[in-house]
Amino acid sequence: MEKGRVYIFDTTLRDGEQSPGICLGVREKLEIAEQLQRLGVDIIEAGFPATSEGDFDAVTQLSAKLTESRVCALARARPDDIDRAWEAVKGAASPRIHTFISTSDIHLEHQLRKTREQVLEMARQAVKRARGYCEDVEFSPMDATRSEPAYLYSVLESAIEEGAGTLNIPDTVGYSVPAEFAELLRGIFENVRGIEGVIVSVHCHNDLGLAVANSLAAVECGARQVECAVNGLGERAGNASLEELVMTLKVRSDRLGLSTGIDSKEISRTSRLVSLLTGYPVQPNKAIVGRNAFAHESGIHQDGVLKERTTYEIMDAESVGLVESDIVLGKHSGRHALKEQLERLGYYLNEEELNQAFKRFKELADKKGSLSGEDIEAVALEYIRTEGQQWKLTAYEVHSGGHEAPPSATITLEREGERRTERAIGDGMVDAACKAIREALNVEAKLHSFTVEAITEGLESLGDVTIQLDVGEQRVVGRGVSTDIVEASARAYLNALNKVLRQ
């Protein structure tokens, strides 16, 4: 373990994907994982292979693809889970198995329905089985912050005895405050035999908005791995935000004296990629990566920044990759120019995806005149997230209606040579277009939320629509972009339904 180094364990693809409505395909996960590797993430938790064939396939493919970051698979303290995790991750250059079991009395009584002795033995056997497959094993006592300390110490000691190299202490329900969490960590360092020979990690949830603060408190106590997610994604209120944690360690190295292996200039693009592929927008006032993070509205602040940036900015926007893009392509730009600019942005589309993206680029350039780097990025992501044999919107016609005729829409969808055309009447043009798509695909869906944002400033900006749908008991997120809000809405709606249909 490198002295003064905090290892970053990213769980965007596992815990982050458990956020309501997120449903990533294998290609989308690969795109995020490759960007996490460029960012410099040490360990990528690729998924939970025992939960589904999709997760198993994704972890398997990520394991084969990633060569620099460690690839981790999650498993419950069950033999079949651990076997499945190893099958998925064994092709990785640096594989890790992460196994867990609850240790709080409330979980033991109401969820596991097992005694402390039974759980301790399950933890011991799980680590032993995982250690039989690979050298790099991580163990987590779930709901550690609500566990009885002496019992927690004994479970952790058992995991060390069986060969766990990383012990992760989760604040599973986001219950702790920083001083309390630090006290728990100090107790572990003082009372667990063999603790000096392993890496202590933390995984903090943000239910009280304290995930990053708790993680930093643990780091000051000696924890040297932090589990976090891009944009703070995760169950309920999410996980510790990777970008906030990393930049705090960087900006306040004077006090903390610690560093990470993260290339901070990749932070902004990583945030945008995750936001666009998951359909979860970043709030404007989000620390580090929000649109307003480096904006100054107050006259006093503006005056100070113009005279000396450090009067009101504690970090440079360029340090997190928030720089003005000089990429502009117009309707006369060719396919090669688009490919070159996409690769400059870090997107490597295959031939079919590039053909589709170029066709879409031409359509938008004819309407808008020229496309910025942000526009080009949105076009690329539209084809990264259109994975496999999915329905595509190939034509649409809408009428706003009037006194005698209600709003209506006619849409045409195509997939692998099959074509469907449907007309529907709605409360407005967007409603009619979405209804026509729903009827064409014969899927019942209920709208949960609908948001529209502009990708860039100005009246000619592309509209970015995010839609959340409830389909049965499943919630899915769809996103679409266009100069026309009706078209962007139809694309977002179709993107969401495609996620249901591809499963």
Write the pLDDT tens digit of every residue in 422-449. Answer: 999 999 999 999 999 999 999 999 999 9
Average the pLDDT over 446-453 and give the result. Answer: 91
Residue 469 in contact with residue 496, Cβ under 8 Å? yes
β pairing state of 43-47 and 70-76: parallel
Euclidean distance between CA atoms 336 and 283, whole angstroms: 35
Residue 138 in contact with residue 96, Cβ under 8 Å? yes
Phi, psi of 303 (to 5 degrees): -60, -45
- Judge whether residue 58 has pLDDT over 60: yes
As given in the structure block, the two tokens for residue 76 are: 């419950």
Residue 99 in contact with residue 159, Cβ under 8 Å? no
- Judge whether residue 304 has pLDDT over 50: no
Please name the residue that has the structure tokens 């360029």: 318
Q: What amino acid occupies position 470?
A: D
β pairing state of 70-76 and 446-454: unpaired
pLDDT at 43: 98
What is the signed CA dihedral for 281, 169, 135, 52, rounded to 10 degrees? -50
Average the pLDDT over 83-108 and give the result. Answer: 98
Task: Spell out the residues 6+ positions from residue 129 whose beta carbon is closer than 8 angstroms to its own.
Answer: 79, 82, 83
Residue 75 pLDDT grade (very low, low, confident, very high; cuts 50, 70, 90): very high
3-state secondary structure of 4: coil
pLDDT at 372: 81
- Tens of pLDDT, residue by residue over 357-366, are 888 888 888 8
β pairing state of 70-76 and 95-102: parallel
Residue 71 in contact with residue 96, Cβ under 8 Å? yes
Please tell me the number of Cα atoms within 13 Å of 470 on its side-chain side: 6
As given in the structure block, the two tokens for residue 301 are: 């602040």
- Judge whether residue 248 has pLDDT over 50: yes
Q: What is the CA radius of gyration of the chain?
A: 24
Residue 340 in contact with residue 327, Cβ under 8 Å? no
How many degrees, rounded to 5, is the angle at CA 457 between CA 397 and CA 433?
A: 20
pLDDT at 296: 42
As given in the structure block, the two tokens for residue 205 are: 């949830």
Residue 284 pLDDT grade (very low, low, confident, very high; cuts 50, 70, 90): confident
As given in the structure block, the two tokens for residue 258 are: 């610690």
Phi, psi of 464 (to 5 degrees): -115, 110
